[in-house]
Structure 1
C-alpha cells in the first residue's frame, strides 16, 4: 500500500496536490489555533462564504476569481471583525446576514455571466487535483505573509486571545491587532478554498487545531501539531480519494473528522481510567 502511494506521487498533478495540501496545512495550523482559542469559528465560516461574492464578480468582470475572493474575503473580514468587536451581543446575527449577502452577490453575478462556468464547483467543493504551479506560488506567498504576521506579533496576538481587557491596560492596540488576525484568517480561507472548497473550509481550519488543543496547551506546540495533523489528513485523504475514486476535498475532511472523533474517544477513556 505504501509503495503504491509513493508511486502515485510520481504524477505531476498529484505532486502539485500534495504540495498544496502541505502549504495549506501550515497556514491552517497557525490560524486554526487562533480561531479555536478565540472561539471565532463562526466568523471564519462567514468569511469563507462571503468570499463567494468575489468569485462571482471575478467571473462577471473577467478577472481571476481567486483575486476577487482575496479582495472580498479581506473586505468581509474587516467588516465582520469590526462588528464582532463593537457589538458582540448581536454579532452572530449581523455576521450571518453578511455571510448570506456575500453568497447571494456571488450567485447573482454568476447568473449574469454568459457562458458555461466549467470550474465553478471547484470553488465550492475544492479541486486539489487541478491546482496549477501558479497557485502553489500564490499559496507559498500567502504562507510567508501569514507566518510573518504570527512571528512579528505573536506575543500581542496571544495577549488579545486570552485576555483582551488586560491587553488594553497594557496599551496594546487591541482592535487593530484583532483586525489583522481576521485578515490573516481571510487569506488562509482563500488558500483552503482550492483544496477543500468554501463549503468545507471551516473543517480544515478548526479540526486539526481542535484535536491539538486536547493534548497540548502551549500555543506554539499547538500550531506545530495542528500543521502536522493537517499534512497527515491531506496526504491520507488524497491517497484514499484516488484509490476509491472519491472527491478529494470531502475525503480529506472525513479523515480529519474521523480523527477528531477518535481523539474525543481517547480522551474520554483516559479520563475514565484516571477516575477509577
Structure 2
C-alpha cells in the first residue's frame, strides 16, 4: 500500500503513473497495428535509428526528443520508400537504417563539446524522470491517435488485415500506411523515457501478442493490449518502488511472464477441449 499512498505525496511518482497510463494507451493502439501488419522488425529499426536524431540534437543544442522524432519519422518514410520501390528488400533497408542511426547518434554525442550526456536514460529509460511537459505532449498525442482511430478505423483495419482488399474498396493504402508509420514513429519517440530505446519494442509488441492469444477481433486485441500494458507498467512501478530496480525493465519481465502464462493456458484449454470432444 506504500506505493499507492506515495503517489499522492511525491509529484515525480504521480507523473510516472500518469505517463505510464498514457504510454500504455499509445503503445496498445499502435502495437496492435504493428503486430497485425507484422511490422515488429520495422518498429525495432525505427526505434534504434531514432538514436541518431538524439545525438544530432545534442550536438546542435536542441531538444533530443525533437531530434529523435524527426529522425524516426524520416527513417520510417525511408524504409517505406526504399522497400516500396523494390530497389532494396525491406529487411535490408531496416538493418541499414537501424545500424546507421545508432552509429550516427553515438558519434554526435561524443562530438558534443563539454560533458557527454548520460545515454543510459535514453537506451533503457527512466520513467521517474518524466516531466509535466512530457505528460502534456504524450496526452496530446494520445488524443490525436484516438481521434485518428475513431475517424479512420475502417480504413486502418482494412489496411492492417488485407492491403489488396482495402485497395479494392477504394482505400488509399499507401497513404494510410504512411500515416500509421508516422504514428508508430511518434509513439516510439514519446515513450523513450518510459522504457528506453532498447526495451521499447517489447512494450509495443508483447501486449498485442498476448492479447491475440485470447482475442479474435482487431478491436478486442487493441482494447486488451491497452489493459495489459497498463497493468504491466503499474505493476512494474509498484515493484520497482520497493526493490529499487528500473521500472522499464521490470515491465518487460511482467509482459513476458503474462505472455508465457496466457500461452500455457491456451494450450491447456485446447488440449482439454480435444479430450472432451473424443
> Is the TM-score greater than 0.5?
yes
Greater mean deviation of Cα atoms: 15-24 or 109-118: 109-118
Q: CA deviation at 1:89?
A: 7.8
Question: 8 Å contact 1:128–1:248 — kept in the other structure?
Answer: yes
Q: Which residue of 2 aligns with 1:182?
A: 181
Residues 118 and 89 of structure 1: CA distance in aligned 2, closer, same or farther (over 3 Å):
closer
Q: SS at the partner of 1:171?
A: coil
Distance 1:32 1:12 in 2: 29
Q: Mind listing any 5+ residue stretches in structure 1 that lack a counterpart? A: none
SS of match in other structure, 2:197: coil
Please give the secondary structure, in 2, of the residue aligned with 1:172. coil
Would the aligned equivalents of 1:82 and 1:179 in 2 still touch at CA under 8 Å?
no
Change (3 A) 1:109 1:144: same
Corresponding position of 1:162? 161
What aligned pairs does 1:1-276 form with structure 2 within 5 A after superposition?
A: 3-10=1-8, 11-87=10-86, 90-276=89-275
Tell whether the 8 Å contact from 2:122 to 2:192 is kept in structure 1 after alignment. yes
Give the Cα–Cα distance (whole angstroms) in 2 for the partners of residues 246 and 185 of structure 1. Answer: 28
Greater CA drift, 164-173 or 205-214: 164-173
For 1:89 and 1:74, locate their aligned partners in 2 and report how far apart those are by CA, in whole Å. 19
> Aligned-pair distance for 1:165?
1.1
TM-score normalised over the length of structure 1: 0.96
Q: Tell me the matched-pair count.
A: 274
Q: State the distance in 1 between where 2:35 and 2:225 align.
A: 11
- Give the deviation of 1:4 after TM superposition: 1.9
SS in 2 for 1:115: coil
Root-mean-square deviation over aligned CA pairs: 1.4
Answer whether contact 2:82 2:88 (CA < 8 A) is retained.
no
Distance 1:43 1:274, change over 3 A: same
In structure 2, relative to structure 1, the CA distance for the partners of 1:203 and 1:88 (3 Å cut) is farther
- Sort the Cα spacing of 1:59 and 1:172 in 2 relative to 1 into closer, same or farther, 3 A: same
Equivalents in 2 of 1:86, 1:266: separation in Å?
43
Q: Measure, in 2, the Cα distance between the counterparts of 1:214 and 1:134.
A: 36
Following superposition, the deviation at residue 88 of structure 1 comes to 9.6
Report the 3-state secondary structure (helix = DSSP H, G, I; strand = E; otherwise coil) of the residue aligned with 1:151: helix
Q: Distance in 2 between matches of 1:210 and 1:84?
A: 25
Superposed CA deviations along residues 222-247 of structure 1, whole A, max 9, x for unmatched, are: 11111111110010001111111111
TM-score (structure 2 length as normaliser) = 0.95
Give structure 2 stretches of 5+ with no counterpart.
none
The separation in 1 between residues aligned to 2:263 and 2:120, in whole angstroms, is 33
Question: In structure 1, what is the Cα distance between the partners aligned to 2:199 and 2:63?
Answer: 22
